[in-house]
Amino acid sequence: MTDLFSYLIISAVIFTIGAYGIITQRSGIKILMSIELMLNSANLNLVAFSSFNGNASGQVFALFSIAIAAAEAAIGFAILVALFRARDTINLDNINILRW
Amino acid sequence: MDIVFLVLSIFTIISSIMVVGSKQLVHSAVYLAGALMGTAGLFLLLKAEFVAWAQVLVYVGAVVTLILFTIMLTRKGEEENGE
Amino acid sequence: MFSDFAALIVLLPVIAFVLTLFLGKKLPHGGAYFPIAAIACSFIISLGIFLEIYPNGIVQQSWPWFANMNIGILIDPLAVVMLMMVTFVSLLIHIYAVGYMAHDPAKPRYFAETSLFTAAMLGVVLSDNILQFFISWELVGLCSFLLIGFWYHKPSAAAAAKKAFLVTRVGDVLFLAGIVLLYVNLSNLISNHLFTPEPGNFILQFKTMFEAAALIDPTQLTYITLLFFGGAVGKSGQFPLHGWLPDAMEGPTTVSALIHAATMVTAGVYLVARTFPMFALTPATLGEHFPALFPAHVPDSLLIVAYVGGFTALFAATMGLVMNDIKRVLAYSTVSQLGYMMLALGTAGAVLGAKAVGISMFHLISHAFFKALLFLCAGSVIHAVGTNDIREMGGLFSKMKITGTTMMIAALALAGIGIPFLNIGTAGFFSKDMIIEGTFEYGEQTGDMIPYAFAIIAALLTSIYIFRLWFMAFTGTPRSERHSHESPNVMTRPLMILAILALFFGFTQGYFYPYLEKNFELMHVEVAGHEGAAPEIPVIVILLPVIVGVLGFLISYAIYYKRMLDMSKIISSGNPIYKLLLNRYYEPKIGADMIGVKLTHGVVAQSGEFVDRKIIDGLVIDGIIGKTAFWLGETARKLQTGVVQNYASVTLLGVGLLLLILKLRGV
């Protein structure tokens, strides 16, 4: 049986990949996918701790997080589609209405 | 046990890297599905069967489909962006 | 049983206000039925409460509000007679207004505002603490402003509304300052354990105020009561804040009758009557320090109330003599009669104690009836003739018999005509007689006969100006070709009811005085009074008010009916006294031009502008402070790139740094 530490390492690696994706990517879809990756790594963390500590609440938490991630993804992609209709692009560099 | 874990984790990490690294959006989506499946496998290893099946159903079944539809609907923008 | 619904007295007109405002346009008569029904219910409840608590009960209800304040209802004899008067007069005037305002397109607004006004006035009367009193008082002022400026498209009406608001504001600020000073004193007493309010009593309740009044430093008490009186001076149009009331006649006549004759302006008198125990407790320092000028042993505040009231009574009556606008004459008459009420509180208060409240309130109520009647008659005349100028009227009696007769009754009541010793007479006869006798007793006991002189001379002038008005309007030859006609029933019926009251209300005096005298006893408050042996009042004193009343009638009869004297020589712009009176002692000039434009705008506002624009703005906007802030902002806004990834990177960097710091510190 592998120990907790290796799971945490994998989780951290996936998280870092996701974070890197968010910062470097320009396409809205890619960024959302990276966010999914990060959420996923957090789930892995939760489940690993729950499994090694013999406490089910981590798994329950992970289920919550999955449900919420699904909802978030639905809204995020819907926004992207709407944005595409309005601006004809999903390149976030061109969408800077938050700018001063 | 260890071998299964090793294979699964390497598969997951490589898929994750390819999600970010792939030039084609559709490829990215497929790699994302792979990474999520890999994580589901890790969940199974952790004896969290329910979470694993939920992960497969929700992420691979729903979210990736959603992503594919979005890619399809915003195709023109994606092409325009080039790289 | 009725007292359980005491809160409804105020709430019903408020509900009527909302309903009329929103639904009035779609209903006949501009939704006038709502306020009429609501005020009728209020009147019935008031009457029920009166029958329930007469002769010894009071109603007290109180709920905590915030901090150590409360909202509550206090219905003692003083309040219950006011309640009945306000609701009754208001009801009649609302009914009259259905006819009077029939052709006005803004009827819903009119009825909504008068309804709100009635609610606010009832709020003043019902309050059991000075804070709630003040809030209602301000609301009353607001309604007055709105209604004076009811025809806001007329520049003169807008100006009059503004003037009324600003002038009464002076009084209101004084009143508020008085409340603050009172609160400071009371809370000091409480925190020094010199005084503890009974459990369940709140700090600004009248009960608490009266209990603690004797413990407050006497000098402070004088300031507090004089500040309160300042509020009363503003609201009741006493000298020197009287100028707004005659101008307030720019509003509809019904508004003048309701607000500027019968109810609102009496709020000032009511305030003094309500806090009378505090006035009576003030020290008599003026008499001590200036024995040559002031009588001894008269509480300072009462002395000032008496002198201001007496002077106003005379001062306003002189201006009433020469005014040509029918409503202006009545307005000055109102100011003068309010002066009488103040005079009664001051003089009789000094010698008779709590009886003074009864004397003053009796005049207040009877005045409300006959002055409302006078105004409604004037409204009826204006409605018929279409002008306010009495020089253009004349010979109206043959065409307007009801109006003429009822107005004559009101004039008789105002002049105080009656038969002494038989106790037969108009309402004004009884009430004014009591006031003049009160001033006489005051004079006898203190040796200060000036208030008596004020009262008698003012009574003579009152009689002259009111009969002048009547003779000029109703007798002689018509001076204009206008076709005048009697007003519709909805207008004449209220006139008749008020006329009956103006004639016969005086006969209730046997019940009224003892009832009101008990007012403060029922609240367990001692009122200081120099209850000396009542001096024997000479016959001439009893006769004199009636004699001057009749004399005034005869003078007016001779001049304005028989035309025995040629007035044209006296009434010419060359006569300095006439000019002075016609120009209202140059009060508008002094008030508006000198104080308003030159002093306030020219000096205060200009220097304020200089400080603000040049010094403060110079330092802040163009100076170093403004420049620095501006530069900081310019620099900092560059950080907002609008690219989400930048924000995300900074966030990640921050989290990383935080983790590093935590790790290094070994957490």
Residue C386's contacts (CB-CB under 8 Å, 6 or more residues apart) are C482
Give how far A97 is from chain B: nearest CA, Å: 18
Choose between C555 and C43: higher pLDDT. Answer: C43
Whether A63 and B81 lie within 8 Å, measured CB to CB: no
Q: How far away is chain A from the Cα of B37, in angstroms, using its nearest Cα?
A: 11
Taking CB atoms and an 8 Å limit, are A19 and C652 in contact across chains? yes
Chains near B with 3+ CB pairs less than 8 A apart are A
The pLDDT of residue A39 is 92
Burial of C83 (0-12, 13-18, 19+ CB in 10 A): buried
User: Which pLDDT score, from 0 to 100, does residue B83 have?
Assistant: 41
Which residues in C lie closer than 8 A to residue A31 (C-beta atoms)?
645
Question: Phi first, then psi: what are they for C70, rounded to 5°?
Answer: -145, 165
- pLDDT category at B37 given cuts 50, 70, 90 is very high
Interface A–B counts its CB contacts (< 8 A) at 130
Distance separating the N- and C-terminal Cα atoms of chain C: 72
Chains A and B touch (3+ CB pairs under 8 A): yes
Q: Inform me whether the pLDDT recorded for A1 exceeds 60.
A: no
Other CB atoms within a 10 A radius of the CB of residue C15 amount to 15
C652 and A CB contact within 8 Å: yes
List CB contacts (< 8 A) between C637 and chain A. 100
What's the domain count of chain B?
1
**Which residues of chain B neighbour A67 with C-beta distances below 8 Å?**
58
- The rounded distance, in Å, linking the Cα atoms of C204 and C623 is 48
Per-residue pLDDT of C144-196, as tens digits, reads: 999 888 888 888 888 888 888 888 888 999 999 999 999 998 888 888 888 88
Q: What pLDDT band is residue A12 in, cutting at 50, 70 and 90? A: very high
Per-residue confidence (pLDDT) for residue C554, from 0 to 100: 83
C228 — pLDDT class (breaks 50, 70, 90): very high
Q: Please give the pLDDT value at position A16.
A: 92
pLDDT in tens, C100-153: 888 888 888 888 899 999 999 999 999 888 999 999 999 999 999 998 888 888
Contact criterion met (CB below 8 Å) for A43 and A62 = yes
The Cα C468–Cα C321 span in angstroms is 8
Cα–Cα distance, C240 to C21 (Å, whole number): 36
pLDDT at C532 over 70: no
Q: Which residue matches tokens 């598969």?
A: B11
Nearest-5° angle of CA C559, CA C561, CA C563? 50
B8, B41 Cβ separation under 8 angstroms: yes
Neighbouring residues of C246: CB distance < 8 A, sequence distance ≥ 6: C319, C323, C328, C331, C332, C335, C584
Break chain A into its structural domains and give their ranges.
4-94
Residue in chain B nearest A19 by alpha carbon: B20
pTM for this model (two decimals): 0.73
Cβ contacts (< 8 Å) between B82 and chain A: which residues?
none
Alpha helices (runs of H) in C197-325, residue ranges in sequence order? 206-213, 218-235, 244-247, 253-257, 266-274, 276-280, 285-289, 300-320
- What's the pLDDT score for residue C531? 54
> In chain C, whose CA is at the least distance from the CA of A19?
C652
Structural domain A4-94, CATH architecture: Orthogonal Bundle (1.10)
Please tell me the predicted confidence (pLDDT) of residue B78. Answer: 47
Note whether A99 contacts C640, CB cutoff 8 Å.
yes
Average model confidence (pLDDT) across chain A:
86
pLDDT tens profile C192-217 = 888 887 777 888 888 888 888 888 88
Nearest to C642 among A19, A24, A97 (CB): A97
Name the band, by pLDDT with cuts 50, 70 and 90, for residue A99: low
As given in the structure block, the two tokens for residue A99 are 């700018």
Which band of pLDDT confidence, cut at 50, 70 and 90, is reported for residue C613? Answer: confident
DSSP state of C525: -
Average pLDDT, chain C: 83
Composition of chain C by helix, strand, coil, percent to 5:
75, 5, 25
Query: CB distance A63–B36 less than 8 Å?
Result: no
Cβ-contact C372, C410 below 8 angstroms: no
How far apart (Å, rounded) are the C-alpha atoms in residues C77 and C30?
36
Is residue C631's pLDDT more than 90? Answer: no
Confidence grade of residue B82 (pLDDT, cut at 50, 70, 90): very low
Predicted-complex ipTM score: 0.84
pLDDT for C274 equals 87
Q: Please state whether the peptide bond connecting residue C451 to the residue before it is cis, i.e. omega within 30 degrees of 0.
A: no
Using 50, 70 and 90 to split pLDDT, how confident is the model at C1? confident
How many H-runs (helices) and E-runs (strands) does chain A carry? 3, 0
Percent of chain C with pLDDT over 70: 93
Domain of B16?
Answer: 2-81
